[in-house]
Structure 1
């Protein structure tokens, strides 16, 4: 009898506990992500808005909301605005982050005070976007400190209206996104470089490889998975760009809606309670994000696995 009991205990399966520990994630994801996502798809096929105190709908209208978006001349413009401002911030971000991560992770340079510099470059990422936007709005306003310094130095004769010109307003938004996220990107890339076997670098140096060759032939190929991750997450964040241009341009995408992003356009319909059209815009943004992410991943990782 004792042997039977011991045999039963010996073959007890504990795999069910794994499902128990995973359950909270799936429950929370279903309630707060999956159900809202499905409801957004569902509501996008309805006419549902409010005019004053009068509620119109919900009335099933099929793909009419999508037709209205695709025939709206402003939507391609807002998509292009979003893409331009994301690229203006992402390109310098990835270049600077790569350089900083290589310098900090290099065993040959042995930079002192690395912990201090890592903390400093990551600090802007901890500042709320609203506070960052208000700071830049104050600094670059017509009577702000930047114009005052340039005027006092005799570099300009009259204040520059940064927020009234397309190039400067887009540039400021891109600069803020760069400053907020380059530290986070640097930390990710640095972790990837530190994960590369040090013996590869030592062997390359013994064979007479230069720093440029080590960077291009060893670091970049082995960093491709992390670079793809950074690019896709940055792309998703860029498409969802909202808080910085919303606050800096007071929600109007000034000048002449050249800084209006897709999410700002979505917010206009949510604010006007046009829920059906807002749902269609959300679905379009979701599809754009999914397609672009798939293209980036497939194109980048294909070459990575081909090299292996």
Structure 2
């Protein structure tokens, strides 16, 4: 068997040359920051110091017993759940409509574009926009509600009923609802496009056979489309969960930059930022928090993957 010729060996060098810029960029801006973050999580670096001492697992021991960290996990899960469930449900409904030729919906491409447009906006700009819309006491939403005679009521010190504009960002349910709605509004278009691609990829002969057997639209959607979309839904679930764990800009900028009111909107990434870059600048503990977020995300992703795969195996059997 002949080995590579001299020309082939010479040409193969160009492949390494083309890969080298990407490799150097990855090492400098991806791999090294990860390694350094893990190293810092075992140290005591904080404040304006440049030097640090390795202290073993002390930061991780503190993390396990940190009630604020576990509360941040709970806050993240609540906001993510009330974003993802309606996001997937509404996107699936519209995907079924847009791929149903019998409905003869006009301007499907335009509607898909409109749904996807919010995905092109930066989360920071959207957060500032909605903060202005729901501003207290004279934001556009409050102005509209008061023009309709809708007021927030409370009991004053002397027992009198006081009517005033809604202070949305002083209410935990309202603030959580606004954050979840913004996340839903931003990402439904992306979910819709992926689900449409998944439905279009299903063989038309399967639907034709079902129609011949007398299956109606609901039965075709429930027994054919949705089961065959499960791999796509698994992908959406895992990627949405990873994105939810990294939720930062909207809860950070929409509130008081600390996840108020009562820290009930403080997600894991907001807690990490508050710890590492605000207050005492505890970089070491912030690094431990970021590693903890990564581990939790990895564990949840693996659990969801195997649960969905096992369920898919049972369905196919």
Q: TM-score, normalised by structure 2?
A: 0.87
> What residue is the counterpart of 2:196 in the other structure?
190
Change (3 A) 1:193 1:17: farther
Matched pairs, number: 299
**Partner SS, residue 164 of structure 2:** coil
Residue in structure 2 matched with residue 274 of structure 1 by the alignment: 282
Q: CA deviation at 1:108?
A: 2.3
Are residues 182 and 73 of structure 1, via their aligned partners in 2, closer, same or farther at CA, if it must alter by over 3 Å?
same
Q: Is the 8 A contact 1:66 1:280 kept in 2?
A: yes
Equivalent position SS for 1:59: coil
> Are 1:47 and 2:41 matched, yes or no?
no
SS in 2 for 1:46: coil
Q: 1:205 Cα shift? A: 1.0
Q: Summarize deviations over 1:75-125 as a string: whole Å, max 9, x none.
A: 111110011001011110000010111111222223210111011001111
Q: Deviations over 1:260-287 (max 9, x none)?
A: 1111111112214322111100110000
Tell whether the 8 Å contact from 2:42 to 2:54 is kept in structure 1 after alignment: yes
Instruction: Specify whether residues 106 and 241 from structure 1 end up closer, same or farther in structure 2 by C-alpha distance, changes over 3 A only.
Output: same
Further displaced range: 38-47 or 148-157: 148-157
Distance 1:80 1:191, change over 3 A: same
Per-residue Cα deviation, 1:131-174 (whole angstroms, up to 9, x for no partner): 11111111111221111111111233421111001000000000
What is the CA–CA distance in structure 1 between the aligned matches of 2:119 and 2:12, rounded to whole Å? Answer: 40
5 Å matches for 1:160-239? 160-239=166-245
Q: Is the 8 A contact 1:86 1:238 kept in 2?
A: yes
Give how far 1:187 is off: 0.4
Match of 2:144 in 1: 149
Matches of residues 59-98 of structure 1 in structure 2 within 5 Å? 59-98=53-92
Contact 2:258 2:271 in 1 (8 A): no
Q: 2:26 aligned with 1:29, yes or no?
A: yes
Which of 108, 114, 124 is the matching residue for 1:130? 124
Q: 4+ residue runs of structure 1 moved beyond 4 angstroms?
A: 11-27
For 2:312, the equivalent position in structure 1 comes to 304
Q: Judge conservation of contact 1:49–1:57 (CA < 8 Å) in 2.
A: no
In 2, the alpha carbon distance for the partners of 1:21 and 1:208 equals: 57
- C-alpha deviation, 1:289, in angstroms: 0.5
Unaligned 5+ segments in structure 2 are 152-162
Extract unaligned runs of 5+ from structure 1: 1-6
